[in-house]
Structure 1
Amino acid sequence: MFIPVVMAGGSGTRLWPLSRKQFPKQFLNLTADNSMLQQTLQRLNGTAHGAPILVANESHRFLVAEQLREAGIHGGRILLEPFGRNTAPAIALAALMAAEDSPENTLLVLAADHVIADVAAFQAAIAQAETLAEQGRLVTFGIVPDAPETGYGYIRKGAELGEQGFEVAEFVEKPDLTTARDYLASGEFFWNSGMFMFKAGAFLAELEKHQPEVLAVCRQALAKLTSDTDFDRIPADIFEQCPDISVDYAVMEHTSLAAMVPLSAGWNDVGSWSALWQVADKDDQGNSLRGDVIAEDSRNSLVMAEHRLVGTVGVEDLVVVETKDAVMVAHRDRVQDVKKIVEQLKQQSRTEADANREVYRPWGHYDSIDSGERYQVKRICVAPGAKLSVQMHHHRAEHWVVVSGTAKVTCNDKEILLTENQSTFIPVGAVHSLENPGKIPLEVIEVQSGAYLGEDDIVRFEDLYGRAQI
């Protein structure tokens, strides 16, 4: 039996405008009807494994918890980093947690945002890796390459280790195209997948040998861990002292215990829009179309429409992505430069760099429908049984109109129930809360008006989710 460790802390921008800092790709339904995080855990169904450990960013805590709940995954631990420090500290924290029960616990370390098409082949590779891990090896999964890829690091195989795999001869950096072609022709090189399997104690011993500072800080942080119903929180003041270093640089490139299991299972890290096009279902013209799309005389393109009708005529090798607040058009050969758009958005302090128009909260989500001088309109959806914090605003008043469901509203000392087509007014400075006491989602249109409408104009008095300030 092994313990899955899923690293879900990424905040990549190469899949903008869908993937953003507050809602990165591991939480998106990019290749199926469920998210990449959910798929990562579900492809372990049928294997003998324990409750997972998920390492995530503090700002994504409610997304992780909700997606686990949706997938019916219970009993796992959600370890929250206050900020990213790369993969070595993340894995070290999970290994220390697992070693509290037994240093003999075997860990399967996975990224939350990879695609693996052949689940049976993947599970067979896990069984091979588990055998090597039981022998004290630190195992990585080497992807059998099918192209001279310059975007991945490579692993060169060494001596055979029975039928299970190979010793690792060396790790090499991302090559140029000529070198990548040589690697492919040799048959000795594999793509570095960033997935691992080893005993917790074996990994920690090698980490202490090669990067003792990382281990020391992680031990201190774990000693000061605070926990509540859903989350384990790492203290920021300690964790900020930890070196920012990958597990490859920290351990795998230095240890004499490294082993590799070849994996040919349709793996893809979906690191760009062109990579998503490669793994997506396509029509006879080579187009992958999602949403309300009409493609006329168009070929080899990826077109995604989330909100509006998108039409293409006479185009080829394009990526077109439409969301509620942005449209991105790029040639498939230039999608790596999408991050340059995000850089410009950040320089201009535009919210589209980090946040989607639809924002998720522990109680549900809201969509900013419209805004202008001194007003903002939101569509709020509150999950059954959920409640927004008891709060007040210094600068804005709010008018709530119930679209569907039942709202329990508290405003100062008054409490009322509102149903469809009923409304209420929340004056500036009033202490108020909104709750869904019903069995169906509550939808409310909120009209804000005032001199300042920022999300930081909230004073919380009581909160079910640990966000109260007073």
Structure 2
Amino acid sequence: MILPVIMCGGSGSRLWPLSRTTFPKQFLSLVSERTMLQDTIVRLNSLDMQAPLFICNEEHRFIVAEQLRQLSSDYSGILLEPVGRNTAPAVALSALKAVQKGDDPLLLVLAADHVIQHVPRFIQAVNQAEILAEQGQLVTFGIVPTEAHTGYGYIRQGQIIGKGYQVAEFVEKPDLMTAQNYLESGDYFWNSGMFLFKASRYIEELRRYRPDILSVCENALLHTKNDLDFIRLDADIFAECPDESIDYAVMEHTQDAVVIPMDAGWSDVGSWSSLWEVNDKDEHGNAIRGDVMLEDTQHSYIYSQHRLVATVGVDNFVIVETKDAVLVAHKDKVQQVKNIVDRLKAENRCEHLRHREVFRPWGSHDVIAEGERYHVKKVVVKPGQHTALQQHFHRAEHWIVVSGTARVRNGDKSYLVSENESTYIPIGASHSFENPGKVPLVIIEVRSGIYLKEDDIVRLDSDGVGY
């Protein structure tokens, strides 16, 4: 039986401004109506498999849970990494977790942010790999290259074994001339970062080649805590784990590495230009999303999130509009987007970190206006949900109910506020609001005071998530 292990990590820098640190690309709808994470789950439907196990970091846990809920998707657990330590520890945790139950499943290790355009070919490759993995081989999937790509690592094939090849060599990202030689030889595949192997075999090889990683992961799993649908690791223990990929830790050393060719329209969507490549295009080579109007525009990717974007005389450009940032880049220069993200970090700005609209388990909030001594938000609370009890020491708040009904806790008082009514929360008062109704609760929140940033908050209970 196959246990899919779906890794949901990401820095959110390569597809800025759509992707952010707190909302990277796997949680976005970029190539279909579903998010990339949801597409990853759906393409597994025809496999004979257990419910997937998900690995994500602390900040993304509610996003993962919500996107699974939208699909009504079963899962084996959501494992939270307190700090990122790359793929070798993440998969070690999954393998150890699997054998704890007395099973020894085949782990199908996948990233949540890959595009696969031809799902039947993907399934065929997995089925071919399953035979070898059952025999104890550690299988990786090599993408049949379509161009001399310099942004991927490569795998050189060795002798034929089953429907695949022994791995002769893993090689780093090449220069253009080397990549052209690889393509012409027919002996190389792109390294996809997808794997299939028995949980016990991965543990054996990790114990042989990187016992330090395995030891920390074993210790961390001894100190887990269940929190709702989440499995929390001890942060101090896991922080001691080396940062290492599966390739470096195991696959480059094991004698049982096998590569299965896959020709399934795969992309890791590592840049805006690669996203343009995998999207449908009009007769002029333009890929567009949202409210876009084109005039004399060719070979461009244009995305509108919030308002009309119109272009005139544009060729080979990427234009991306969000509520708080606009990117305009030549398609041949999109790798430099990361430089903008680095500058935003250096200048201590927030546009790299989060979107203007922020999603929470209970709903969302979106900044409408802000200035000196005032800050205005639209807050939406789902039916039956509530925020954490909290207080602030530098700001007061006015809440105006636009639609629905709010149950407000304000100091030692609890009362209802209906549409077209408002309430006032003074500085220092403990407060929360709840939606007791059947329709979304929409509130306009007006903050006023000398200090209005998000860190002026004290949460007084853990039953709920503030913002």
* TM-score with structure 2 setting the length: 0.98
Question: Deviation of residue 102 (structure 1)?
Answer: 3.3
Distance 2:462 2:307 in 1: 36
User: Which residue of structure 1 lines up, in the alignment, with residue 373 of structure 2?
Assistant: 374
8 Å Cα contact 1:155/1:172 also seen in 2: yes
Deviations 1:46-86, CA, capped at 9 Å, x for gaps: 21110111110111111111111111112430000011111
User: Which residue of structure 1 lines up, in the alignment, with residue 91 of structure 2?
Assistant: 91
Distance 1:408 1:34 in 2: 34
Distance 1:406 1:265 in 2: 50
Deviations 1:91-122, CA, capped at 9 Å, x for gaps: 11111101112352111000000000111111
Asked if 1:251 corresponds to 2:237, the answer is no
8 Å Cα contact 2:362/2:465 also seen in 1: no
8 Å Cα contact 2:117/2:265 also seen in 1: yes
User: Which residue of structure 2 lines up, in the alignment, with residue 389 of structure 1?
Assistant: 388
Give the residue type in structure 2 aligned to 1:319. Answer: V
Asked if 1:21 corresponds to 2:25, the answer is no
User: Which residue of structure 2 lines up, in the alignment, with residue 298 of structure 1?
Assistant: 297
Distance 2:420 2:182 in 1: 66
Question: Deviation of residue 218 (structure 1)?
Answer: 0.4
Distance 1:404 1:280 in 2: 38
Give the residue type in structure 2 aligned to 1:304. Answer: Y
Give the residue type in structure 1 aligned to 2:83. Answer: F
Higher mean C-alpha displacement, 122-131 vs 417-426: 417-426
User: Which residue of structure 1 lines up, in the alignment, with residue 153 of structure 2?
Assistant: 153
Question: Deviation of residue 465 (structure 1)?
Answer: 4.2
Higher mean C-alpha displacement, 108-117 vs 164-173: 164-173
8 Å Cα contact 2:364/2:380 also seen in 1: yes
Q: What secondary structure is seen at the aligned counterpart in 1 of 2:460?
A: strand
Q: How does 1:20-419 map to 2 (within 5 A)?
A: 20-102=20-102, 104-162=104-162, 164-419=163-418
User: Which residue of structure 2 lines up, in the alignment, with residue 432 of structure 1?
Assistant: 431
Give the residue type in structure 2 aligned to 1:381. Answer: V
Question: Deviation of residue 463 (structure 1)?
Answer: 3.1
User: Which residue of structure 2 lines up, in the alignment, with residue 461 of structure 1?
Assistant: 460
Deviations 1:174-202, CA, capped at 9 Å, x for gaps: 11111111111111100000000000000
Question: Deviation of residue 10 (structure 1)?
Answer: 1.2
8 Å Cα contact 2:12/2:22 also seen in 1: no
Q: What secondary structure is seen at the aligned counterpart in 1 of 2:383?
A: coil
8 Å Cα contact 1:297/1:315 also seen in 2: yes
Higher mean C-alpha displacement, 102-111 vs 210-219: 102-111
Distance 2:179 2:385 in 1: 53
User: Which residue of structure 2 lines up, in the alignment, with residue 449 of structure 1?
Assistant: 448
Distance change (3 Å), C-alpha of 1:467 and 1:388: closer
Deviations 1:368-421, CA, capped at 9 Å, x for gaps: 111110110001111111110011111111111111122111111222222221
8 Å Cα contact 2:88/2:246 also seen in 1: yes
Deviations 1:322-355, CA, capped at 9 Å, x for gaps: 0000000000000000000011111111011211
Distance 1:459 1:306 in 2: 33
Task: Show structure 1 runs of 5+ residues with no match.
Answer: none
User: Which residue of structure 2 lines up, in the alignment, with residue 3 of structure 1?
Assistant: 3
Deviations 1:241-260, CA, capped at 9 Å, x for gaps: 11111110000000001011
Percent identity (aligned): 59
8 Å Cα contact 1:408/1:416 also seen in 2: yes
Distance 1:316 1:117 in 2: 26
Q: What secondary structure is seen at the aligned counterpart in 2 of 1:168?
A: strand
Distance 1:255 1:107 in 2: 17
Higher mean C-alpha displacement, 37-46 vs 410-419: 410-419
Give the residue type in structure 2 aligned to 1:40. Answer: T
Deviations 1:115-149, CA, capped at 9 Å, x for gaps: 00111111111111111110001000000001000
- Backbone CA RMSD of aligned residues: 1.2
Give the residue type in structure 1 aligned to 2:134. Answer: E
Distance 1:12 1:430 in 2: 36
Task: Show structure 2 runs of 5+ residues with no match.
Answer: none
8 Å Cα contact 2:397/2:448 also seen in 1: yes
Deviations 1:352-373, CA, capped at 9 Å, x for gaps: 1211111121211110111110
Distance 2:185 2:411 in 1: 74
Give the residue type in structure 2 aligned to 1:43. Answer: R
Give the residue type in structure 2 aligned to 1:67. Answer: Q
Distance 1:414 1:208 in 2: 59
Deviations 1:8-35, CA, capped at 9 Å, x for gaps: 0112301000001010001111111111
Asked if 1:422 corresponds to 2:424, the answer is no
Distance change (3 Å), C-alpha of 1:330 and 1:466: closer
Distance change (3 Å), C-alpha of 1:221 and 1:317: same
Give the residue type in structure 1 aligned to 2:102. Answer: S
Question: Deviation of residue 166 (structure 1)?
Answer: 1.3
8 Å Cα contact 1:77/1:232 also seen in 2: yes
8 Å Cα contact 2:386/2:464 also seen in 1: no
8 Å Cα contact 1:390/1:431 also seen in 2: yes
Q: What secondary structure is seen at the aligned counterpart in 2 of 1:352?
A: coil
Distance change (3 Å), C-alpha of 1:241 and 1:369: same
Distance 2:419 2:126 in 1: 52
Distance 1:351 1:307 in 2: 19
Distance 1:66 1:439 in 2: 19
Question: Deviation of residue 41 (structure 1)?
Answer: 0.7
Higher mean C-alpha displacement, 267-276 vs 3-12: 3-12
Q: What secondary structure is seen at the aligned counterpart in 2 of 1:214?
A: helix
Distance 1:224 1:465 in 2: 24
Distance 1:222 1:334 in 2: 43
Give the residue type in structure 1 aligned to 2:171. Answer: V
Give the residue type in structure 2 aligned to 1:279. Answer: V
